[in-house]
């Protein structure tokens, strides 16, 4: 029996894990039967536990005292890779937190495989860092070191657009140029890749990536715009004042629609201002809905529902 090996797509917003055992590939259920796992870590200050994925986000949205870390992939190749952050009374390196998350993925991989897994293929973008070869190489090295620290001994990398192209390439009968679109949480990458039955046997496919560009627009931007366009108007956004001279201030609605800014509307100062806005509003009933969400701290739960509606 050949030893199992794994594949990890460590994403900015979500991650997936695959396992190949006896030549058969499959996706690993990472949490509650789901094959995707939000790339999130929550340090619970109340019971000193660390949790991952949806459980991490649930702890955070339930207002449990602690620290939520997201978008961990963005640390790679940046100055943060050598810095530490305060977690309650401890000072922990950002790359150590990346390692914790990779370690959790490895644990789920090995639980599925039923054995220790020491060989892994890690996905990587064409460019971790735009137009900076040195920083790009540094980012890959940091990811490799983090994976090695978790017990992976044999590590290979595959470009993410090539990984997508390989799946499509199994269906082609002649050489083609394929446009591969990778829409992530924070960025979207567009690559033109040469595919063919003959090239599928090549181990180094970097030269088959003929062009690649990315934009810092992704799924979280879509979530925010979807919320602003269709949810926030039900909570008072764009509602005029009683005198009809202007609309209500937009800032709190924008904050509630933006995941990383939701906590800003939970302050006492914000609540005082919201009550004043309600008094001025032509439709106070709509603002009452907004205030209800803030009072019960339902903001992150609402954002999760918007994301679910998008999917």
Q: Say whether both 78 and 195 belong to one domain.
A: no
Backbone phi and psi for residue 264, each to the nearest 5 degrees, phi listed first:
-65, -25
Q: Is residue 105 part of a domain?
A: yes
The CA-atom distances, in angstroms, between 250 and each of 264, 286, 292 are 14, 14, 18
Nearest-CA neighbor of 98 among 18, 39, 57?
39
For 252, the domain range is: 220-310
pLDDT higher than threshold 80 for residue 52: yes
- On the 0-12 / 13-18 / 19+ scale of CB atoms within 10 A, 180 is buried
Q: How many domains does the chain have?
A: 3
For the segment 77-103, the average pLDDT, to the nearest whole number, is 92
Q: Say whether both 45 and 114 belong to one domain.
A: yes
Q: Is residue 116 part of a domain?
A: yes
Q: Say whether both 136 and 256 belong to one domain.
A: no
Q: Is residue 166 part of a domain?
A: no
Cβ-contact 51, 65 below 8 angstroms: no
What is residue 140's predicted lDDT score, i.e. its pLDDT? 95
Nearest-CA neighbor of 300 among 88, 101, 86, 68?
68
Cβ-contact 234, 287 below 8 angstroms: no
Q: Which two tokens stand for residue 193?
A: 């890749």
Q: Is residue 164 part of a domain?
A: no
What is residue 45's predicted lDDT score, i.e. its pLDDT? 93
Q: Is residue 54 part of a domain?
A: yes
Q: How confident is the model at residue 55 (pLDDT cuts 50, 70, 90)?
A: very high
Q: Is residue 255 part of a domain?
A: yes
Q: Say whether both 249 and 176 belong to one domain.
A: no
pLDDT higher than threshold 70 for residue 1: no
CA 121/CA 99 separation, integer angstroms = 16
Q: Which two tokens stand for residue 18?
A: 């695959």
State pTM to two decimals.
Answer: 0.78
**pLDDT tens track for 193-230:** 999 998 887 878 888 989 988 777 888 889 999 999 99
Greatest C-alpha distance within the chain: 78
Q: Is residue 163 part of a domain?
A: no
**pLDDT tens track for 98-141:** 999 999 999 999 999 999 999 999 998 888 877 788 988 999 99
């Amino acid at each position: 029996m050949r030893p199992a090996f794994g594949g990890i797509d460590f994403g900015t917003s979500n991650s997936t894990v695959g396992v190949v055992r006896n030549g058969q590939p499959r996706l690993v259920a990472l949490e509650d039967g789901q094959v995707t796992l939000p790339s999130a870590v929550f340090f619970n200050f109340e019971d000193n536990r660390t949790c991952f994925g949806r459980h991490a986000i649930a702890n955070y949205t339930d207002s449990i005292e602690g620290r939520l870390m997201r978008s961990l992939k963005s640390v790679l190749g940046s100055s943060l890779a050598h810095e530490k952050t305060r977690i309650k009374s401890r000072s922990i390196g950002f790359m150590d937190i990346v390692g914790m998350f990779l370690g959790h993925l490895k644990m789920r991989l090995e639980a599925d495989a039923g054995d220790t897994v020491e060989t892994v293929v890690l996905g990587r973008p064409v460019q971790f860092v735009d137009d900076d070869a040195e920083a790009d190489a540094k980012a890959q090295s940091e990811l490799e070191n983090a994976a090695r620290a978790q017990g992976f001994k044999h590590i290979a990398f595959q470009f993410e657009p090539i990984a997508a192209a390989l799946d499509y390439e199994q269906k082609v009968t002649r050489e083609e140029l394929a446009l591969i679109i990778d829409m992530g949480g924070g960025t979207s990458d567009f690559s033109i890749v040469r595919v063919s039955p003959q090239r599928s046997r090549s181990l180094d496919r970097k030269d088959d990536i003929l062009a690649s560009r990315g934009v810092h627009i992704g799924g979280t931007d879509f979530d925010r715009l979807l919320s602003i366009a269709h949810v926030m108007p039900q909570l008072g956004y764009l509602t005029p004042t009683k005198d009809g001279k202007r609309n209500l201030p937009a800032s709190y609605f924008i904050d509630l629609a933006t995941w990383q800014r939701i906590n800003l509307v939970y302050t006492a100062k914000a609540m005082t201002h919201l009550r004043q806005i309600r008094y001025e509003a032509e439709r106070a009933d709509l603002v009452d809905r907004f205030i209800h969400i803030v009072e019960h701290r339902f903001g992150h739960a609402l954002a999760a529902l918007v994301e679910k509606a998008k999917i």
